[in-house]
Amino acid sequence: MYLMQNKIQEYAWGSKSYIQNLLSLQVDTPMAELWMGSHPKASSQILINGMWTRLSTYLSDTPITDATLPYLLKVLAADLPLSIQAHPSKAQAQIGFSRENDLGIPLDSPVRNYKDDNHKPELICALTPFSAMCGFRQYQEIIDHFTALKFDRFFSTFPVFRSAPSAQTFRAFFHELMTLPEYFVTNLMKDLDSMLSTPHLLPSSMDSITRCCSRIKEEFSQDIGILAPLYLNLIDLKPHQALYLDAGILHAYLQGAGMEIMANSDNVLRGGLTPKHIDIDELLDTISFEPWTVEILEPFEQSPSLYSYPTPAQEFYLMYYSGSDGSESILDSVRHDCIVFCADGSAAIHCCDTQMTIERGQSIFVPATDLPISIRGKAELYIATSL
């Protein structure tokens, strides 16, 4: 097993304190993500015989391991809302990646949609209280919200959607919403300001929605994505609760820190709340227009001190160790290369004839040949592997 050194991604929406405190860094610039894995954009390094080596290089040069990790593990920390986004299916990613290659769009181009040919199912597990918008609401809820705000008059497709709600009529309305001309957006935002200043005139069931719209509007004053709380489910996770998102589920994380694990991909199709590239047509061809049922995942107890978050994904499997002094867990069910990250405390990791202690903010890479491992100590650890 090997100590890891991981790359930090600095985005404007990142936290000015969480990752900094985690890694004992004396900086106040926004830090959004800490990547752990072998993705070519930001491969981790591992310490081998006193020398740092790219994990991606180690995997490709070692015949007894897979050429790459099928998953990417991140610490995500947000002070501000992330973009409204969705991720493609495997087939969509393969087609899109090939098409953009044929068009000669460089991989690092800011207008490129597909950075690789992989899908990106993902799981976010809250480290702190964590808020998000995920999946479309029930159609009647969406209709009621736009009607209550008197926004129905801005959209020619809304009457049809209201009278015959379906995935087809909602898609037509949503396309009009996301491509609304600037003049209408300006007028709509004026009306929204008026509504937000008199929330007592709206149904009390919309209180959380108007609060969320107000918060988003502080950062994105004229972005049509400000209306996302009207059509996306608002979700609040407590620490250790999780959400699983498959391809085509529109979402935006709002605030908080979490452990995020996903298939090894960086494919993101954006629709708003971002200065980055937006491609509405490609996004609409990717997302599901069916209402989404929110399912908050609670940690499943595998054994004392060891929990897991089962999902349909084959590329990744996330476990959580919460131990006290004297606690010990043996990970005898893990069969593939894994990453162990320490979110708090410190723990001794044993494998073969080797022992390594990791502390808050540190991580280790454990090749499958070093398994099984045992964990002992008062700590909170996250273990990422594949099925």
Mean pLDDT, the chain cut into blocks of 10 residues (387 residues total): 97 97 95 95 95 95 79 98 97 97 95 94 98 98 96 96 98 98 95 89 91 95 96 98 98 98 94 95 97 97 93 96 87 91 97 92 94 94 95
Domains along the chain with CATH numbers: 2-133+236-280 (2.60.120.10), 140-228 (1.10.441), 300-385 (2.60.120.10)
Determine the 3-state secondary structure of 182 from DSSP.
helix
**Could you tell me if 327 and 380 are in contact, meaning their C-beta atoms sit under 8 angstroms apart?**
no
Residue 83 pLDDT:
97
Note if 270 is an active site residue.
Answer: yes
Give, in order, the Cα–Cα distances in Å from 236 to each of 131, 231, 250, 257, 310.
5, 16, 16, 12, 20
Amino acid 81: pLDDT: 97
A 10 A CB-CB count for 254 gives 24
- Predicted confidence at residue 332, as pLDDT, reads 86
Pick left, alpha or beta for residue 272 (phi over 0 → left; psi -120 to 50 → alpha; otherwise beta). left
**Exposed/middle/buried for residue 201 (C-beta within 10 Å: 0-12, 13-18, 19+):** exposed
Task: Say what the pLDDT of residue 325 is.
Answer: 81
| Token output for 293 | 């049922």
Which of 270, 335, 360, 376 is the catalytic position? 270
The rounded distance, in Å, linking the Cα atoms of 255 and 132 is 7
Contact at 8 Å (CB) between 372 and 334?
yes
